[in-house]
Amino acid sequence: MSITFKGGIHPAENKHFSEKKPIEKLPAPEIAYVLLSQHIGAPAKPIVKKGDEVKFGQKIGESAGFISANIHSPVSGKVKSIEDIPHFLGGYSTAIIIENDGLDTPADELEKHSDWKSLSPDQIPKIAAEAGIVGMGGATFPTNVKLSPPKDKKVHTVILNGAECEPYLTADHRLMLEHSDEIVEGAEMIRFALGADRLIIAIEENKPDAIATMRKSVEGKQIEVAVLKTKYPQGAEKQLINALTGLEVPSGGLPFDVGCYVQNVSTAKALRDAVIDGKPLVERVVTVSGLAVDEPKNVLARIGTTLSELLESANGAKGEIGKIVMGGPMMGLDQWTLETPVTKGTSGVLFIPPKQAKVGEETNCILCASCIDVCPMKLMPTSLAQNTKYEKFDMAKKLGVLDCIECGSCVYVCPANINLLHYIRWAKVEIRKMSKK
């Protein structure tokens, strides 16, 4: 029997559209739109100006705070302008726009360390910082910060997250199939940097080929490959740790409070490429799928490639597009324009036909408690929503609204079509406002 957590849902996986498609290297865009805010934390500070020549992999934005990340040029060419463009969170944000000269002249700014075991553990986060590596599962937390936990928190277990529990997405799946050795090497670097003992690579059972490939890659190494039950949100940090170790990250706490560390497989690969090849994070695997694209696929896209170019790469739209989701259908963000560029956290882009785009009308809660049954944080979403509706934010807080991981399972199952998460987000905003006063 495969391992898992309590609660959760099992929506239609819809991975068959793209899981058999090998990663296809996408031509670099003629114009790259490189956002300065691609990560959680402060946006990077631009260190080039309009008209500057830049090389492939050259640092063009500098980390602007403790939680921030460097940005590198995904192409070689000339800075066309620095201006506001559509951002995936909605609205506009500053980007460096680069005209590609098509030469990919390398900047070679980063050192190559083919013998990484001779490095000292604290050099790994430094290289991660230099290469602009952030969590590529979607949270985009700067990896160097995560790799430097407080001294009093000892990490014993490193978990490599290959669950990929979101429907449709197959980017991590393909990466595990095609680059398993690199992923394992990156994972070992993380373990080395943290001085941890245990290293687990966790994969959902709906990817048997990836499980087999990873098992082969870890042969003879002190690394476990764990098979997880296919269930959403299996890849959520706290649920993943719970499934694998039985530990519960305390409310308001972080994985290192229970001695664990979780990192996405793509991030491990990016770290390995930075350390060994001296390659900054300038491209990533993106799943392009959904019923409104003609040819769903997985592409290796440069950061700064626009959604319209991704759509083209999938042979364009099939029928009308009703909705564009960046990320998976459960936690992804709706996009309002095709001009939004790919960033470090873009694991997939889904094009949804109009008839799937809209959801039904909200009706009265019938207290069926389905939301309570599925909540992976064991909260009572219907009560959180009720209290929020009547602006009883204190009560919502008491009932644990701040513990919500916003996985959306409650909304998925709600027979009355209530967007419980909408209320929960509202409560969180209000509670944070109150605590600032």
Partner 1 sequence: MDSKYFVASSPHIRSDVSTKKIMWNVVLSLIPGLIGATYFFGFRALYLTIIGVLSAVITEAIVEKCSGKKITIDDGSAVITGILLTFNLPPGVSWWMPIVGAAFGILFGKMIFGGLGNNIVNPALLGRAFLMASWPVQMTTKWLAPRGGSIPGISTNIDAITGATPLGVLKVFVGETLANPSATPEQLTQAKHILVQLYSHWTNLFFGNVGGVIGETSAALLIIGFLYLLIRGFISWRIPLAYIGTALLLGWIFGAPDGFFKMNVLFYIFSGGLMLGALFMATDMVTSPITPRGRWIFGIGCGILTVIIRRWGGYPEGVSYSILLMNLTVPLINRHTVPKKFGV
User: Per CB under 8 A, does 334 bind partner 1?
Assistant: yes
244-283 residues in contact with partner 1 (CB under 8 A) are: 248-253
Whether the link from the prior residue into 233 is cis, omega within 30° of 0, is: yes
Tell me which residue of 4, 2, 396 sits closest to 236, measured CA to CA: 4
Alpha carbon distance 120, 90 (integer Å): 41
Alpha carbon distance 236, 217 (integer Å): 25
Q: How far is the CB of 80 from partner 1 (least distance, A)?
A: 24
User: Per CB under 8 A, does 383 bind partner 1?
Assistant: yes
- Longest Cα–Cα distance in the chain: 63
Tell me which residue of 139, 167, 91, 86 sits closest to 352, measured CA to CA: 167
Alpha carbon distance 364, 23 (integer Å): 45
User: Per CB under 8 A, does 176 bind partner 1?
Assistant: no
Q: How far is the CB of 300 from partner 1 (least distance, A)?
A: 25
Residue from the set 238, 297, 302, 397 that interacts with partner 1 by CB under 8 A: 238
* Total residues interacting with partner 1, rule: CB under 8 A: 67
User: Per CB under 8 A, does 403 bind partner 1?
Assistant: yes
Q: Can you read off the two tokens belonging to residue 336? A: 């309002």
Segment lying near partner 1 (by CB under 8 A), choices 49-57, 102-110, 204-212, 325-333: 325-333
User: Per CB under 8 A, does 429 bind partner 1?
Assistant: no
User: Per CB under 8 A, does 153 bind partner 1?
Assistant: no
User: Per CB under 8 A, does 376 bind partner 1?
Assistant: yes
Q: Can you read off the two tokens belonging to residue 405? A: 């991981």
For residue 436, count CB atoms less than 10 angstroms from its CB and return exposed for 0-12, middle for 13-18, buried for 19 or more. exposed
| Burial annotation 249-265 (CB, 10 A radius, 16+ → b, else e) | beeeebbbebbbbbbbb
The site map against partner 1 for 9-28 (x = CB under 8 A) is x-x-----------------
* Amino acid type, 245: T
Residue from the set 319, 363, 429, 434 that interacts with partner 1 by CB under 8 A: 363
Contact residues for partner 1 (CB under 8 A)?
A: 9, 11, 90-91, 167, 238, 242, 248-253, 321-325, 329-337, 350, 352, 354, 356-360, 363-370, 372, 376-380, 382-383, 399-400, 403, 406, 408, 411-417, 419, 421-422, 425
